[in-house]
Amino acid sequence: MALTFIAATGTDIGKTYITCLLIKTAAKMGKTVRGIKPVISGFDEDQIGASDTGNILDAMGLPLTMDNVHTISPWRFSAALSPDMAAKREGATIELAPLIEFCHQHISDTPTLIEGVGGVMVPLNDTETTLDWQAALNANCLLVTGSYLGTLSHTMTALKALAERSITPLAIIINSSEIAPVPEQETADTLGRFVTDIPIYIVARHAEILPEELVLTLS
């Protein structure tokens, strides 16, 4: 299976940034990696380029058209809220089965990144979360976290939640936060004392490429 779920410890941590960097790094290596963002809230059809979906399309070199948007982001909601809340405001419900089916349609020999929405356990509907989505997919996982104050607890809590559903990330990616109390390496070293079985990578702010070994984990 060539599906990898891009999860995060919270909202605005950098899932889209990392997803796009993986796609671009793969291209520089002569490899093709696709990306989809099945569920997106806070979407404005008049500002596709400012959206997560638009950024992913741009990384893949695809035009920012609504046809292409629909191809990778069929569940779109205008309110910048958790998916369940945003859907309710439009009289909709995100059902897990069609969401899983949509993701499975992208299984092929070409690695595909599935960017999640929000953090590890953001509600999708009244009873299910993004963690249920991940577990049902049975895909690989990359966990994106930050270097902000509090990230250590958030990261280890996210890892515990994932482990309870038998999900072990291929890697933890520390995406440098705008405000960090200590150097990113110190955060990585501290996290590494507690997490000894998962590789930890640091991505500096405004990085234009990722380590090649991260891309190779997707195949």
Q: pLDDT digits over 170-200, tens only? A: 999 999 999 999 999 999 999 999 999 999 9
Q: Taking a C-beta distance cutoff of 8 angstroms, is the pair 25, 161 a contact?
A: no
115 known member of a binding site? yes
Mean of pLDDT over the chain: 96
> Catalytic residue among 28, 37, 88, 160, which?
37
* End-to-end CA, the chain: 9
- pLDDT at residue 205, as a whole number: 82
pLDDT band at 2 (very low <50, low <70, confident <90, very high): confident
Has 31 been annotated as catalytic? no
168 labeled binding residue: no
**Helix or strand or coil: residue 32?**
coil
Q: Give pTM, 2 decimals.
A: 0.96
**Does 41 count as an annotated binding residue?**
yes
Environment class of 68 (CB within 10 Å of its CB; exposed 0-12, middle 13-18, buried 19+): middle
Alpha carbon 132 to chain centroid, angstroms: 15
Band (pLDDT 50/70/90 cuts) for residue 50 is very high
Out of 23-32, 77-86, 161-170, 202-211, pick the least confident: 202-211
- 61 secondary structure, DSSP code: T
pLDDT confidence of residue 1: 55
Can you tell me the mean pLDDT for 81-88? 98
Protein fold of 3-30+96-216: Rossmann fold (3.40.50)
Residue ranges per structural domain of the chain: 3-30+96-216
